[in-house]
Homo-oligomer: A and B are copies of this chain.
Amino acid sequence: MQARQPIALIGSGTIGRGWAIVFARAGHRVALFDKEPRALDEAMGLIESSLRDLSAFALLDEAPSAVLARIRLARDPGDAVAGAVHVQESVAETVEVKRAVFAELDRLAAPDALLASSSSAIVASRFTEGLEGRGRCLIAHPAAPPFLVPIVEIVPAPWTDPGAVESARALMERAGQTPIVVKREIEGFVFNRLQGALLREAYCLIRDGYATAEDIDRAVVAGPGRRWAITGPFENADLNYRGGVREHATRMGPAYARMGAERGQDDPWTDELVAGVEAERHALLPRGDWAERVAWRDRRLMALAALWRRDSD
């Protein structure tokens, strides 16, 4: 494994420990700090346990001990960020806490180090505005646990340097994650906005007596969740109709608009909006490749069905 540049992690909860695995697995030296000594004491044992599990599933290219050897506990934030090219904050999800931590990190970290927050909904402009180094601050929001669910949302503040965005994106991609760049700030970014929309509808269905939480969970796992593990909502619509997303919008759009109106929503899928998505999908999947891609999706669904079938035996 080629040695990669040092990373500093501030916060050793589930997310901080998960980042330690992501970066150490990819060859980075990692320094981990937490202001709670007890959390930090526990961290190495928990990380080692996860590394053993990953190894059992053939998800590590080397021994767990080799990965673990790249992770060290830092005695204070200054020790953690010493020499780091990227500092990833994963502390409590409040503006006040993040503001204090970022002020400290901006003082302590080398001037060219990136400062990234694991914030799951708060935008960076709410806690970085007054910092001298605000141009190097951004959101890099992972899912839990980040070493198994690879999405990372990179979200710049209005003053974030474009170079910092690209550096963070490239770092995450080299580390085996799946970064997307959200073009401008919005509370909840993409992932939690989509989760939130689904959850709000789910709570309405329970409140109004249509289904139980258990049935909703079963419906998602045995239904759209299985497809969304393979193709996202737009590719899914594109593959389910020969006429692609346009046919999907024509056939299902009016019903979806009525369902939205019941919840107060009026965001029409205009011809222009659908045409834009259609153009993007056609560029990604030329129509001549459609049947082959449907067959690919079905083979992945089969592999998934076979996996669950084996596991339940």
Cβ contact within 8 Å between A259 and B188: yes
Given contacts A177-B222, A217-B231, A219-B232, 13 further A-B contacts (CB under 8 A): A50-B298, A54-B302, A143-B224, A144-B240, A149-B301, A178-B218, A190-B211, A197-B197, A199-B256, A203-B269, A216-B232, A220-B232, A225-B227
Cβ distance A253 to chain B, nearest Cβ, rounded Å: 9
Most buried by B among A59, A196, A240: A196
| Residue from B121, B177, B193, B237 within 8 A of A205 (CB atoms) | B193
* Selected A-B contacts with CB under 8 Å, 13 pairs: A53-B299, A57-B299, A57-B303, A149-B227, A180-B219, A190-B215, A194-B216, A196-B252, A202-B233, A203-B273, A213-B234, A221-B232, A229-B229
Proximity string of chain A (130-160) to chain B, C-beta cutoff 8 Å, 1 when within and 0 when not: 0000000000000111001111010000000
Chain B residues near A213: list those with CB within 8 A: 234, 277, 280-281
Cβ distance A265 to chain B, nearest Cβ, rounded Å: 5
Cβ contact within 8 Å between B219 and A194: yes
In the assembled complex, A198 has its CB within 8 A of some CB on chain B? yes
Number of chain A residues whose Cβ lies closer than 8 Å to a Cβ of chain B:
107
Interface residues of A (CB under 8 A from B): 50, 53-54, 56-59, 93, 120-121, 143-145, 148-151, 153, 177-178, 180-184, 186-188, 190-235, 237, 240, 251-252, 255-256, 258-260, 263-267, 269, 273, 276-277, 280-281, 284, 298-307, 309, 311
Cβ contact within 8 Å between A224 and B306: no
Majority secondary structure, A binding face? helix
Chain B residues near A187: list those with CB within 8 A: 255, 258-259
Give the CA-CA distance A281 to B216 in the complex, in Å. 12
Cβ distance A60 to chain B, nearest Cβ, rounded Å: 11
Chain B residues near A181: list those with CB within 8 A: 215
Chain B residues near A298: list those with CB within 8 A: 50, 53, 145, 148
A254 and chain B: residue at smallest CB distance = B121
Cβ contact within 8 Å between B237 and A210: no
